[in-house]
Amino acid sequence: MPRIAYVNGRYVAHADAVVHIEDRGYQFADGVYEVCEVARGFIVDMPRHLGRLNRSLRELSIGWPVTPDVLPIILREVVRRNHVTDGLVYLQVTRGVASRDFVFPAGTKPSLVVTARKADPTAAGRRAESGIKVITVPENRWDRVDIKSVGLLPNVLAKQKAKEAGAQEAWFVDADGTVKEGGSSNAWIITRDGVLVTRPAEHGILRGITRTTLFDVAAKLGLKIEERGFSVAEAKAAREVFISSATTIAMPVVAIDGVLVANGHPGSITLSLRQAFFGVAEKSPA
């Protein structure tokens, strides 16, 4: 079954899907993106993802490549044409194609690319049963990580370092020892009293959509959340630790820098959040 991508108004074979060499995404990382989970034939939390896209575009003064009501149709169409029931749909908007100059080009149309790909939900379930390992790295990203920009080189390097250390995620840590977030996920701990703790999203991290929906899940399960910073030391001593993102949902962390969390097994509260997530999230038929 050939994969199909959407590129600037056309549905094309994935292998032939190309953008111009002077696309500003390619030259300056001058663009933004979103990743939505596709689960059981639904696009998960699409309105929230498109709301965050709108904010990212506005913060960078990039226009909408299509009208906001058309984008959900394109996302659904790409998911449908690729027969994705479980997996993800990726969209990227850049400032467009222009001869290389740092300042914003006048009259350039933003570029839009959408792809979708399958993922095996049972493999993700198995990963959640064993949990993942994280390492910590010093924060070295720019100040506007609240914008979901395609400029991800520090994240690439941090996650590669994690892989080389036998871990699956890297946590960026501030100079004062507090945890910011992962290379592609938000970071959470659960205290001995069963309180969920995650850093405030006003500044310094991406406001994850999964994070936002987990607030709703926690409310449904009667769990308390504290939005505050936590240190690496507090995380190592926590009752449970997990990460959240559209591609992992709530994923237990069982080791930080080689130190086992609790008994080294996924925590029951994290697994209950994971289990309740789909029921609470907004589901748009693909």
Binding of residue 209 to ligand PDD (CB under 6 A): yes
98 or 277: CB nearest ligand PDD: 277
Query: Residue 58 CB: number of other CB atoms within 10 A?
Result: 12
Q: Which of 109, 133, 148, 159 is catalytic?
A: 148
105 or 151: CB nearest ligand PDD: 151
98 or 196: CB nearest ligand PDD: 196
Count residues binding ligand PDD (CB under 6 A). 14
Binding of residue 149 to ligand PDD (CB under 6 A): no
Please enumerate in sequence order all residues whose Cβ is within 8 A of that of 224, keeping only pairs 6 or more positions apart, or say none: 194, 195, 196, 218
Binding of residue 280 to ligand PDD (CB under 6 A): no
Binders of ligand PDD among 179-208, rule CB under 6 A? 181, 184-186, 206, 208
* H or E element that contains 73: helix 71-81
Whether 163 sits among the annotated catalytic residues: the reply is no
The tokens for 38 are 């596709």
User: What's the helix, strand, coil split of the chain in %, to 5?
Assistant: 30, 30, 40
Binding of residue 244 to ligand PDD (CB under 6 A): yes
Binders of ligand PDD among 1-20, rule CB under 6 A? none
Order of all β-strands in the sheet with 283-285: 10-13, 4-7, 111-118, 87-94, 31-39, 42-44, 283-285
Binding of residue 111 to ligand PDD (CB under 6 A): no
Task: Please identify which residue in the block is written with the tokens 């693909």.
Answer: 286
User: Catalytic positions, please?
Assistant: 148
Per CB under 6 A, residues contacting ligand PDD are 35, 181, 184-186, 206, 208-211, 244-247
